Amino acid sequence: MLGCGTIPGTYLLPELIGGFRAQHPSIKTTLRISSSRIISEKVLKGELDFEVVGAKWNESGLSWTQVFRNELVLAVHPGHPWANGKPVPLIKVMQEPFILREAESGTRKVFQHSYRKRSERK
């Protein structure tokens, strides 16, 4: 049984599983989608065989292998001052109200890690 974080489970795995099922119709596939952290916990408990998530967590007992690479991008309304396509400093982003994923999300973890990393450089 496979577990996925929300983003890979929604956008990446359905097509891959569909292709796999077309080649191996006798193999049953089950996909569970939840936040990355919850999926990682389920793998540790033995409730899932493996996972595809958006970020590494610190749980010991799991081995991590990168299989996909993606990029986080900032999306704004076309009338927003940042809509000109020029790079926006992360500190400016953090000063604006914005929507952020739930605490257990791999996407949120990556975003927070990037922010902390850039903050430490200063």
CA distance 35 to 5: 5
Task: Tell me what the mean pLDDT of segment 73-102 comes to.
Answer: 86
Q: What is the pLDDT of residues 47-84, one digit of tens each?
A: 999 999 888 777 788 888 888 887 878 888 999 999 99
Q: Among the residues of the chain, which ranges form H helices?
A: 6-7, 13-23, 36-44, 90-94, 106-121
The predicted structure's pLDDT at residue 46: 94
The predicted structure's pLDDT at residue 32: 93
* Residue 87: φ, ψ to 5°: -60, 140
